[in-house]
A = this chain, B = another copy of it.
């Protein structure tokens, strides 16, 4: 099957950040492609930037369906534009945050999300409210590193370890969700580092990879989003697009 991750930013270097872990995790019969946006922000760290990314994200999702893709991932923890895009296509449009929260809720008693900046805390809270899983959210913690500086893996891992240890010890987290898709690829390293701190019983979820595996699962089953929830928009001109 063919699955495409759309990184909803114009920084196309981030395509490679996603492609590595996705290719490594894909089943042999899954063909992965990654694309990013032509119009929109360089990174997503606010509601405003998220909103400005949606029009092109939707277009890229429509293009993916036309290209014969089986499922797409909006590869950002804001689940950027997934609801709007689901109206325009019939293939599954996966949001990593929503997916991670549901699976984390199945895997353990409570989960914490470790994201980049304090300003995103309300957005993660809102995402949990929308899923209905607030009772399972132990905490939202932040590494206090902007998205475009996440490539310093040592700095990132150290901060992730610090915050994850606090999430487990102080907040009662039993599962950790990486809170930014640009942290892709560090989940297993983080699990290893946590073991050195005596925490060997807490799974770490990489949302991008999980989104891929759930996309594969839904495609295998011929399941997609309910068109009763996400009916096609009325036919109308959209001025300026």
Residues of A in contact with B (beta carbons under 8 Å apart): 10, 25, 27-29, 37-43, 45-52, 54-56, 58, 81, 83-88, 98-99, 102-103, 105-109, 119, 121-122, 125-126, 129-136, 146, 168, 172, 174-175, 188, 199-203, 205-206, 209-210, 213-214, 216-218, 220-231, 233-234, 236-241
CB-nearest residue of chain B to A90: B201
Q: How far is the CB of A7 from chain B (nearest CB, A)?
A: 14
- Contact status A129-B135, CB under 8 Å: yes
Q: How far is the CB of A36 from chain B (nearest CB, A)?
A: 11
- Contact status B236-A42, CB under 8 Å: yes
- Contact status B135-A135, CB under 8 Å: no
Selected from B52, B98, B105, the residue in CB contact (under 8 A) with A132 is B105
Selected from B28, B108, B221, the residue in CB contact (under 8 A) with A209 is B221
Q: How far is the CA of A229 from the CA of B125 in the complex (A)?
A: 12
Q: How far is the CB of A179 from chain B (nearest CB, A)?
A: 16
- Contact status A54-B51, CB under 8 Å: yes
Q: How far is the CA of A173 from the CA of B146 in the complex (A)?
A: 23
Q: How far is the CB of A174 from chain B (nearest CB, A)?
A: 4
Q: How far is the CA of A83 from the CA of B200 in the complex (A)?
A: 20
Chain B residues near A174 (CB-CB < 8 A): 122, 226, 228-229
Q: How far is the CA of A132 from the CA of B29 in the complex (A)?
A: 35
Chain B residues near A135 (CB-CB < 8 A): 129, 132, 134
Q: How far is the CA of A205 from the CA of B99 in the complex (A)?
A: 17
- Contact status A109-B122, CB under 8 Å: yes
Chain B residues near A106 (CB-CB < 8 A): 98-99, 102, 225
Q: A46-B231, A99-B106, A174-B229 are in contact. List 6 more A-B contacts (CB 8 A).
A: A46-B87, A47-B87, A48-B84, A49-B234, A49-B236, A51-B58
When A105-B132, A214-B217 are in contact, do A240 and B39 touch as well, CB less than 8 Å?
yes
CB-nearest residue of chain B to A103: B102
Q: How far is the CA of A107 from the CA of B43 in the complex (A)?
A: 26
